[in-house]
Amino acid sequence: MPTNRIEELYLIGNTILKELPQYSFIDGAGRIRKRVAVAMNKLKKIRKSRKDNENNSCVSKCKLVPSPEKKSNFEFKQINNESYNTVHDIKEISELPYLHEVWNLVKTEPHMVSIFPRFQCKLHGYKIQVDVVSYGGKKWIKIKNKEASDIQFNFLKQSSGHIGITIKKLLLASEENKVNEHSPKIFFYFTKGVTEDVATLIENSGANFSLGKHAKIFSDNNNSEDDYSETTESSTTSSTRLKKSQLEHQKLNYDNSRKNLGVHTLVALVSNLTNGLTKNVNHPAIQKCIEQEKKNPVKQQILNYLKNKKLICCESAVFAFKNIVSKKGGPTEQKRAKELLKTIEIVPDLITKRVAGMKKGGKVPKAVFGTGDALDVTTVSIFSKIITSARCCDIHLNVWTHESRPLTELFESKNNSISIVVLDTPKNKLLINSTPERK
């Protein structure tokens, strides 16, 4: 593998890792981070090995020798048995372009829900991985980063895991993992094009497909068994097929104009801490929150995300928020809360069947996330147990999460008794509403 190719892959991996923190609210962000890190470590070993060999004036090479059976097949022959030239290393490195395509979809797909989730098909006893889940769980995307001819060859050869098997497994799994009584739509994303035969197979099975920026639909060229060329007739067919795919996208309900706010988001927006008025408070937990706020200003992140959006909030969340502010908030925070509620549309509690059926989560959290799920809008909240519980049950709620921030105004006055309310999260304990009692 040429050195410039290694550097190119290394740059791709670094770019993904740098952009990941902005998308940490998405389920599966840790999965793609881990896979990128594994591939990056392989690249580091290769670079180090090559530098050592150059210093020793003994550079190892990996030659590609054509197989006598077929011109398209190649065998790796190793010189000096260097570990970085093994087939295993090559496969690990080659995953980075695929991960790059996954990451590009994560950044562009609306209503992103999950990356690399595994869905169970209990009836047939298997689990299948989906690359990207978007549109609030209503769209499953499987990415194919192989040449169109290779995909078709594997299908005709009936190799294990060929696209025909994948289509069937995804469709069966989608029937058992419905989102509010509707099966998710299956989409295949071909980065390097697809043959007409495979495209027809996908359409006839009830799934859909889309193409990468420079990808095409190829037709079989009768003059050659191995090459595929796009004809004028197939170009018209391709255009028709892509229009059908776009119509399927339009059928997916997606409301990006509204955002559903949770209780802790409302608290974070009115807190003195996030509004820059809390400086030095003689309490360890609050001091920790102050340090976190300096490094990661939460209110600005929330406002950037909610820019030009209509804000809604369910009745239970508003009632809980008012109760918290009246008991734990200072005069300025109470005034700020009243002004905030004037900008929000209060909607009735709407709890979907799948949210109501979850074992964990109290009345208010279920009302908050259930309302967002019922209205097909993103719920803005902190990362809580109900989100983890849902993911464990293969329920991928459409959420955007942020760090928690407490009300702090009453802490700023001296000689106050302390009353701390703590919320348990899967990883640690977050201070949610830590304020002193009023005297």
Read off the CATH number of the domain in which 179 is found: 3.40.1350
| Residue 114 and residue 103 in one domain | no
Mean pLDDT for 388-404 is 83
Same domain, 133 and 83: no
Least confident of 121-130, 190-199, 215-224: 215-224
For the stretch 285-324, pLDDT in tens is 888 888 888 888 899 999 999 999 999 999 999 999 999 9
Quick one: pLDDT at residue 237?
A: 57
The string of pLDDT tens digits covering residues 346-370 is: 999 998 888 888 877 788 999 999 9
H/E stretch holding 42: helix 29-55
CB 308 within 8 A of CB 428: no
What residues does 217 pair with on adjacent strands?
A: 194
Q: Comparing 435 with 245, which gets the higher pLDDT?
A: 245
Residue span of the structural domain in which 206 resides:
110-253
**Same domain flag for 285 and 153:** no
Same domain, 135 and 162: yes
In the listed set 223, 253, 283, which residue is the last one of a domain according to the structure?
Answer: 253
Residues 197 and 179 in one domain: yes
Mean pLDDT of 4-28: 87
Number of domains in the chain: 3
> Of 162-166, 339-343, 352-356, which range is least confident?
352-356
Judged by average pLDDT, the poorest of 233-237, 268-272, 420-424 is 420-424
Predicted local distance difference test score (pLDDT) of residue 249: 56
| Per-residue model confidence (pLDDT) at position 190 | 93
- Spatial separation of the C-alpha atoms in residues 301 and 312, rounded to whole Å: 18
Rounded to the nearest 5 percent, the helix, strand and coil shares of the chain are: 50, 20, 35
Residues 339 and 388 in one domain: yes
DSSP state of 257: S
On whether both 405 and 270 belong to a single domain, the answer is yes
- Using the predicted structure, report yes or no on whether residue 387 has a pLDDT greater than 90: no
Whether residues 219 and 283 share a domain: the answer is no
Helix or strand holding residue 21 (H, E): none
> Is the pLDDT confidence value at 30 over 70?
yes
**Residue finishing a domain among 201, 231, 253:** 253
Write down which residue in 253, 268, 288 finishes a domain: 253
Q: Do 319 and 187 share a structural domain?
A: no
Residues 335 and 419 in one domain: yes
pLDDT at res. 241:
61
